[in-house]
């Protein structure tokens, strides 16, 4: 299932029932720190997929395909990493 973990109804109920309200040991984040926050757990983040047609250099495609099935996911992961690095540099 592409590494995506789903929450069971039981786990969701457990999370909703959690009543700890003592946050005294939590650091206070500034507005700037909050703006920089990005999802870091891809197993819980499932973006919407969109089919596109793209032209890649043959050697680049061959390199991704050399590792077997899942080359499209590896290409997407490489592009996502570049995107996140670019976002971090420009904030």
Residue 4 lies in a domain: no
Task: Confirm whether 1 is domain-assigned.
Answer: no
Enclosing H/E stretch for 86? helix 71-89
Quick: pLDDT tens for 69-79: 999 999 999 99
pTM score, whole prediction: 0.51
Answer whether residue 22 shows pLDDT above 50.
yes
Per the structure, the count of domains in the chain is 1
Q: How far apart are the first and last CA of the chain?
A: 34
- Structural domain for 24, as ranges: 9-89
Hey, CA dihedral for 69, 72, 76, 78, is it positive or negative?
A: positive
Q: Is the pLDDT reported for residue 8 higher than 70?
A: yes
């Amino acid at each position: 299932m592409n590494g995506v973990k789903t929450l069971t109804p039981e786990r969701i109920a457990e999370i909703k029932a959690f009543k700890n309200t003592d946050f005294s040991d939590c650091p206070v984040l500034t507005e700037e720190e909050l703006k920089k926050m990005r999802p870091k757990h891809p197993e819980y983040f499932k973006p919407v997929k969109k089919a596109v047609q793209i032209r890649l250099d043959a050697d680049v495609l061959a390199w991704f395909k050399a590792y077997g099935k899942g080359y499209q996911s590896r290409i997407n992961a490489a592009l996502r990493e570049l995107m996140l690095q670019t976002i971090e540099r420009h904030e």
